[in-house]
Amino acid sequence: MAVVLCFGDSLTFGFDPATGGRFPPDSRWPDVMATGLDATVITEALPGRTTVFDSPYADTRSGRAMLPAVLESHAPVDLVILMLGTNDLQGPLELSARHSASGLWTLIDIVNRSAAGPDAGKPQCLVVVPPPIVDPKGFMGVFFEGREQESQNLAVQYRAICEQTGTPVFFAADVVSPSPVDGIHLDPQGQRALGAALAERVGQML
């Protein structure tokens, strides 16, 4: 049975913007995706995770620092799904979508250079571009106020990196929008819709 590794932040973790807790498995996109696949789906998600940047708010949030060990611990992995970038745009980090795209390139390179795939080869990789931020509110507004335009730029910058590296890309905004509760995270309906859409996309790759 194929193994799919989902490496992401709070969007992949299943953060509930209404309660600050975590959705049950049936409302987390990796688990929803798993129901539509003949595969083992592993979720490696951490709220606040960035592509490659250190967070001023919490340790161990750099995806670059964690991904090699994650790949090794779950090997052999057939497909790695990378869904990161939103946290790179936290205001205090003062980073652009271009910086985030550079971080994405590093993560793709880690996957491609790994021996974590079948027969000690490299896994396949799929990039999921997070949906743009829309009017961040409440606690999230403290970190993401004024970052809407830069988050919209992620799609263009990520597409370019994926074209350069030959990496398939899926745009979450094609099927979901952030919850109006905080303008960043998905509600249960969004999580389920994303999971269903990715089950179809991933099924074509396995």
Average pLDDT over residues 168-184: 97
Whole-number pLDDT of residue 59: 79
SS3 sequence, 31-77?
A: HHHHHCCCEEEEEEECCCCECCCCCCCCCCCEHHHHHHHHHHHHCCC
Whole-number pLDDT of residue 40: 98
Q: What 3-state class would DSSP assign to 129?
A: strand
Place of tokens 């509600």: 187
Q: Is the pLDDT of residue 139 over 90?
A: no
- Please give the helix or strand (H or E) that residue 128 lies within, else none: strand 124-129
Q: Is the pLDDT of residue 163 over 80?
A: yes
* Cα distance between residue 206 and residue 203, in whole Å: 5
Terminal CA-CA length for the chain: 10
If you compute the radius of gyration of the chain from its CA atoms, what whole number of angstroms results?
Answer: 16
Whole-number pLDDT of residue 94: 87
Place of tokens 């931020």: 133
Give the number of other Cβ atoms within 10 Å of residue 18's Cβ: 12
Which residue(s) pair with 129 in the sheet?
171
Contact 51, 84 (CB under 8 A): yes
Residue 170's Cβ-side half-sphere holds a number of Cα atoms within 13 Å equal to: 22
Q: Is the pLDDT of residue 145 over 90?
A: no
Give the pLDDT confidence of 13-57 residue by residue, as tens digits. Answer: 999 999 999 999 999 999 999 999 999 999 999 999 999 999 887
Give the pLDDT confidence of 106-120 residue by residue, as tens digits. Answer: 999 999 999 999 999
Q: 2-203: which CATH topology?
A: Rossmann fold (3.40.50)
Whole-number pLDDT of residue 19: 95
pLDDT grade, residue 147 (50/70/90)? confident
Report the percent of the chain where pLDDT is more than 70: 100
Q: Is the pLDDT of residue 187 over 90?
A: yes
List CB contacts of 168: < 8 A, sequence separation 6 or more: 124, 125, 126, 127, 162, 205
List CB contacts of 164: < 8 A, sequence separation 6 or more: 105
Where in the chain are the domains?
2-203
Tokens of 92: 């205090």
pLDDT grade, residue 142 (50/70/90)? confident
Q: Is the pLDDT of residue 125 over 90?
A: yes
Q: What 3-state class would DSSP assign to 176?
A: coil
Task: Quote the mean pLDDT of the chain.
Answer: 96
Whole-number pLDDT of residue 144: 86
Whole-number pLDDT of residue 11: 98
Give the pLDDT confidence of 52-96 residue by residue, as tens digits. Answer: 999 887 778 999 999 999 999 999 999 999 999 999 999 888 899
